[in-house]
Each structure stands twice: as C-alpha cells, then as structure tokens.
Structure 1
Amino acid sequence: MGITTLSSREFNQDTSRAKKAATAGPVFITDRGKPAHVLLTIDEYRRLRGERGTSLLQALTPKNPSQDFNFDPPKLGRVSKPADLD
C-alpha cells in the first residue's frame, strides 16, 4: 500500500492522477504543507468504517450502470376473479 502526497494545487490540476493513486493507497492532500484531506477508494473507506456485507442498495445497483439488462419475470395467470357488479 503506497501513500501519495499531493498539494492542493497538484490535486486541483490533476484529479485523475489522484484517483489513480488512491487505488494503490491513501492520497494525502496538503494545504500550505500540512495534511488537510485524505482521498480513499470507496472500498477502503467502507473497510475502515467496518461495514460488512452487501446492502440491498449495493446488491441492486448494476456494476456498470451504462449497460442494460434483461428482466423477464414469469407471467402469472389470473390471480383473482373479476368483480360481479350485477
């Protein structure tokens, strides 16, 4: 796990670099030479928070939201009688 340190200016100028670095470990972002923020991947953040398992929202969220999926539930027969209005 590598630690990367970027100044606020470097972070603002190259956020993609910071995001790539966060996949290898925490990215410390400094203000006037002092650590002010830490960038982590969501998985690392959840691990640190002690979150376990998969929530319903995570289970239902597609891994790649740009891809469509087929949902073809089975057809049910008539489940009730029509109302007799006479």
Structure 2
Amino acid sequence: MNDNSTSGIFPHPERCDAYIQCVPRDDGPFAHEKICPSRLYFDPHLLTCNWKSCVLCEKGCKNHSKKNMPCLAAIILGSLIITTWL
C-alpha cells in the first residue's frame, strides 16, 4: 500500500545535523537518515542544510506531527538507511 501522507523531509528527532527523508513503499514507509555536511544543521523551514548560526535546533519528537509518525516508527523498527553527503 503506497501512502503519500508519510513522504517528505522532516527534522531528525535526535540530531541537529541530520534529517529524515521518508519515502512511501508498497510494504510501508521507509526512512532514510541524511547527514548534513560539516558545520551545517538541518533547517526545518527551508528543508535543507544551513549554517548553524542560521538554525534554531530543537531536538525531540515534539517537533513532529502525527502524519509523519509512521515514517519515524520505521526508524525504530530498523528500516533506516544512513546517507552522508559526498
């Protein structure tokens, strides 16, 4: 079942220098952890990595809405691919 409501880019629940890209798949949502380049934080307003001085980072799941929780649950269940910038 392909569920587009779980797709998108979201702040990482524990890291300021990372974000989660959620991708719907037939077997459920899949989460990719993306790491920002050195000295950058994820900017949830621009949905991209930005200078640390330009980003207010608040760690924790309080920043996530219920619509993307299935994707975050995929992280807990081990459906996570870690990707770094080259």
On whether the aligned pair clears a TM of 0.5, the verdict is no
TM range (shorter): under 0.3
Greater share of helix: 1
Larger RCO (CA within 8 A; separation ≥ 6): 2
TM-score (norm 2): 0.21
TM-score (norm 1): 0.21
Report which of the two structures shows the higher radius of gyration computed on alpha carbons: 1
